[in-house]
Structure 1
Amino acid sequence: MQKLLQVITVIVVGIVVMFGGRWYMYVAQSETPYDEVGIALNGYMPSPLRSWGCHKMQERFANQLPPYGCAGPDGRSWL
């Protein structure tokens, strides 16, 4: 039973690192804010992380329209 729990824990940690790392790469290093995978991952993040990610991208792409999930009510302003 303990071995099964250990395997499940390793799998869960691996998944979190893989998807979390991909999301961070999108937020911090992407060449464009319109990466479909990054937008989808950002949509699955908890609200505080999503907000941080949107603000980080706003700093980098201030002159572009925000991606889905980071747009204000008018669709043209950042959150």
Structure 2
Amino acid sequence: MLHRIARATFIASLAAALAGGVLLIAWQILGLAAGDAAILTAPNGLFKTILCIAASISSIAAYVLVHVKAASPAHTPKAGTR
């Protein structure tokens, strides 16, 4: 159960962090191309804070995934045993 929650949290927060990072880079490229410092520094407030939080949640969920085992089916016979 905890493994599924951690996995879903990891995937969602990683996707949010990566998509936000791509958007941040595109935004800064637009600011550089326009030569406008206001556009370049605009995402430094709340947007960058949300990206950092999403990346932190993703890293915590990845740590939990490493240390929590997935639930294995109850009655799966192992190969080569009787």
TM-score, normalised with respect to structure 1:
0.42
Larger radius of gyration: 2
TM-score, normalised with respect to structure 2:
0.41
Greater helix percent: which structure? 2
